[in-house]
Amino acid sequence: LLFATPPEHKGLGDPGSQVVAELIKLHAPRVAVVGGGAARQERLARTLVVCPGRLADGDYALVDLQAATVEPRHLPEPTAVAT
């Protein structure tokens, strides 16, 4: 699943959307990618919830579904092209 806002996580005290949390619990996907600020990951029931960070800041994440791991990454700065 893909959401623009993170789920509320009552156990961790994280703010977020209660509706997103309920949808994740109802459908129990292996992974849910959510928007938000800083890159992070957490478990919500059996679902791996991944916030890759802001792409505008060059942040993204590689998710290995088999190992259920997340590797935060950062895009390299663009280099100037000589004309």
**pLDDT of 11-54, one tens digit each?**
777 788 999 999 999 999 999 999 988 888 999 989 999 999 99
Amino acid at the residue 40:
R
Is residue 80 over pLDDT 90?
no
Percent of the chain scoring above 70 in pLDDT:
96
How many alpha carbons fall within 13 Å on the CB side of residue 70? 20
Radius of gyration of the chain (CA): 15
Percent of the chain scoring above 90 in pLDDT:
67
Burial label, 5 (beta-carbon count in 10 A; 0-12, 13-18, 19+): middle
Q: What is the pLDDT of residue 9?
A: 76
Q: What is the pLDDT of residue 14?
A: 74
